[in-house]
Amino acid sequence: MAWMMLIFAGLMEVLGVIGIKRVAANNNWPNNILMIGSFIVSFQFLLQALETIPLSTGYAVWTGIGTVGAAIVGMAFFREPRNVMRIACIIGIVGCVVGLKLTE
């Protein structure tokens, strides 16, 4: 259950990053609520997950999900560059996150 909470926390972090991008483009209440609300939910689920999962593993997985998610969302929706090196790095991050889970 803790891992599901951690994954959800990471996904909410991605939603918060989308909120940051939207606030940068149009600073209004709905975008601020999306950004702030997503980060609050993300932190709450991260805190719950860290009651069971070691801090170093949990934080690394959470930031890994956020980093990979933000990169994918950026490429898919915000016309950020897509190149072989960037995709290779994303795959590397995913590999490291999986490795952390396997070594726990």
pLDDT tens digits, one per residue of 43-81: 999 999 999 999 989 999 999 999 999 999 999 999 999
Confidence of residue 87 (pLDDT cuts 50, 70, 90): very high
In eight-state DSSP terms, residue 78 is S
Mean pLDDT estimate for the chain: 95
pTM, to two decimals: 0.90
User: Containing domain of residue 31, as a range?
Assistant: 2-103
Domain count, the chain: 1
